Amino acid sequence: MQAQVKQRALPGNESVLRLIWQEPLGRAGLLGVTLIVILAVLAPLISPFDVAKMHPKAKLAAPSFVYLFGTDHFGRDVFSRIIHGARVSLVVGIVSVSISAGFGYIFGMIAGFFEGKTESVILMIMDVIFAFPSILLALFIVSALGTSIVNTMIAIGIVNIPVFTRTVRASVKSVKSMDYIKNARSVGLKPAVILFKHITPNVLAPFTVQATLALSGAVLTEASMSFLGLGIQPPNPSWGSMLSDARKYMEIAPWLVIFPALFIILTILSFNVLGDALRDVLDPKLKL
Amino acid sequence: MRDYILKRLLMLIPVLLGISLSVFLIMQLVPGDVVSGILGIEQTPELRVMWEKKLGLDQPVHMQYLNWMGNVLRGNFGESFRTGAPVFPEIISRFQITAELAVLASFTALFIALPLGIISALKRNQPIDKGVRVAALMGVSVPSFASATLLILFLSKAFGYFTPVKYVSFLQSPGTNLEIMVLPAFILGASMAGSLMRMTRSSILEVMRQDFIKAVRAKGATERITIFRHALKNGSIPIITLVGMQMGSLLGGTVVIEQIFSIPGLGQYVLTGISQRDYPVVQGGVLFIAFVYVIINLLVDILYTYVDPRIQYT
């Protein structure tokens, strides 16, 4: 019954948001993501200090009204670095997911629609990418291309292409045999028109869910790479590298560890919760 | 069955070739050339030519690939630029450490996830189910390096406990080895347990809806027998798949945890290779990990037939 109600309410974006809002977890995810996005967008306006500004007299200062989250070993304000870090995390996440989603969409469409040899070749390439543990492949690509923010995005982007390809391919296959597509073919529509105009709308739901979940994965991979020193390079602040630098001082300055860790967890958790809620709303069949 | 395994092994060949080719090609992207990296400031044209010849870099790219593959197939992964030691034996000895960690982590994950996932499914939408689902979400969302760092901080602050820094193998001293491994295995296991719990829950819910469960109940089976002998067995395929995939990804995915706990595993070996630009190490390590991952997936597929004899491969 519930599923039927939800399915009927599907069309508008507004109702999707409303349905997510109705679930407590969905609401929490939406709030968390909104908070991180606001912090990231408004970072230059709300950060009290410059991210690179050192305050030699206030090295490793504990959290106070001046330095909300304390300062690090150079006397840099942790709060300012964290909200700028949100910016870096989100930009890396969004760009890399766009890379994976874009290529995944194209490959998935082609593989699902044309089948045969084309499909086998595409799937084999995806299997090859899939055979590498994601963090290792990302590190490997970055080590070959050189460490930089752009290369980090490319590396994470490549790693996630197979997930999107598989999602899109599966949806295309399930839609393809439906009558309206057969009709579209029989009236002589070109494959490109069928793909973009008639199949794409049906692929969008799983695609959006996948993108939200992939975003949390991308943020996690970036943080892990930066933690290992092979992701975002200084002076750009990154939560991963902040956490890694802080380990040396964590006995005397635990706030250096606690705040970046909390923000990484909050971001990934929010995107995962939102992704789950989105899946429940867009694809009620999967809700158990 | 034997035919199926043979067929699958044959199908592995293009994938493995693809893997080796992509590893080789990505290494070609490395900026600057390898010889300058080795020689540094001692570079002279004569030395350069000598090294290029020694490394086979004077040959065309496709020949370089074939030479490299020929060596790899004979178990020769080359020598480390830094230490001069052959890469393959080192990979094998490091692999044992990582494999121990991966197995311990997987057991921890199963130990946490199976009971909680089953309880969660049986008490669906009750407070305990909601609690388990939130815990699973945390498991999925908390990066292992963040939880590891926070846990180390907590243990040292609250109990003054520090993890052993120097790695000791299980054969040297089982007690110390397990003391080193227990925390990293727990952290990796807990984060694996998150998705495993969700999978167990949805899998059991799916099975419990089916008619044969009603039949089992109708014949008067106890709840325990219904769940463990019938529901769990039938719902275990997706769980096994996930454990297999997770174990495979742990082989390279433990790199961060190995770094934090100073465990000299395969991940750390490759990471050190990356930061020292020691290409034979990186190339060999990545190739080996991808190879093992593919084999684990094959083993998982074969395992299906034992769990569910209805699955027959032809």
The string of pLDDT tens digits covering residues B88-127 is 999 999 999 999 999 999 999 999 999 999 888 888 888 8
pLDDT of residue A1: 38
Which residue in A128, A136, A229 is closest to B289 by CB distance? Answer: A136
- B281 has pLDDT over 50: yes
- A173 has pLDDT over 80: yes
pLDDT of residue B109: 92
- A92 has pLDDT over 90: yes
pLDDT of residue A11: 47
Q: Which residues 187-226 of A are in CB contact (within 8 Å) with B? A: 216, 220, 223-224
CATH architecture of the domain formed by A53-286: Orthogonal Bundle (1.10)
- The top-scoring range by mean pLDDT among A63-67, A89-93, A125-129 is A89-93
Q: Per-domain residue ranges for chain A?
A: 53-286
Query: What is the rounded average pLDDT of the residues A182-198?
Result: 84
- B39 has pLDDT over 80: no
pLDDT of residue A104: 94
Query: What totals of helices (H) and strands (E) does chain B contain, helices first?
Result: 15, 0
The string of pLDDT tens digits covering residues A237-267 is 888 888 888 888 877 888 888 888 889 999 9
Query: What is the rounded average pLDDT of the residues A68-78?
Result: 77
Query: What is the rounded average pLDDT of the residues B3-19?
Result: 83
- A82 has pLDDT over 80: yes
More confident residue, A66 or A216: A216
- Interchain proximity B256–A257, CB inside 8 Å: no
ipTM confidence = 0.81
Residue B198 CA to residue B147 CA, distance in Å, equals 20
User: How many CB atoms within 10 Å of residue A14?
Assistant: 9
pLDDT of residue A12: 61
Among A117, A143, A256, A264, the residue to mutate for chain B (most B Cβ within 10 A): A143
Interface contact B201, partner A, CB < 8 A: yes
pLDDT of residue A5: 39
pLDDT band at A8 (very low <50, low <70, confident <90, very high): very low
pLDDT of residue B32: 61
The model's pTM: 0.84
- Residue % of chain B over a pLDDT of 70: 96
- Interchain proximity B256–A224, CB inside 8 Å: yes
pLDDT of residue B59: 80
pLDDT of residue A76: 82
pLDDT of residue A4: 40
Query: What is the rounded average pLDDT of the residues B309-314?
Result: 64
Q: What is the DSSP letter of B308?
A: -
Among B20, B22, B33, the residue to mutate for chain A (most A Cβ within 10 A): B22
- Residue % of chain B over a pLDDT of 90: 11
The string of pLDDT tens digits covering residues B252-278 is 778 889 888 888 999 889 888 887 777
Please state whether A60 falls in left (phi above 0), alpha (psi between -120 and 50) or beta: left
Which residue in B18, B27, B294 is closest to A124 by CB distance? Answer: B18
Closest chain B C-alpha to A240 CA, distance in angstroms: 9
Query: What is the rounded average pLDDT of the residues B2-7?
Result: 80
Q: Measured between beta carbons, which residues in chain B are less than 8 angstroms from residue A146?
A: 31
Q: Measured between beta carbons, which residues in chain A are less than 8 angstroms from residue B29?
A: 144-145
pLDDT of residue A2: 41
Interface contact B262, partner A, CB < 8 A: no
Residue of A nearest to B207 (CA): A288
Compute the mean pLDDT over every residue in chain A, rounded to the nearest whole number.
Answer: 83
Angle at B285 between CA B284 and CA B291, to 5 degrees: 90
- A153 has pLDDT over 60: yes
- A133 has pLDDT over 70: yes
Compute the mean pLDDT over every residue in chain B, rounded to the nearest whole number.
Answer: 83
Of residues A71, A17, A32, A57, the one with CA closest to residue A259: A71
Among A128, A154, A222, A230, the residue to mutate for chain B (most B Cβ within 10 A): A128
Q: What are the beta bridge partners of residue A71?
A: A77
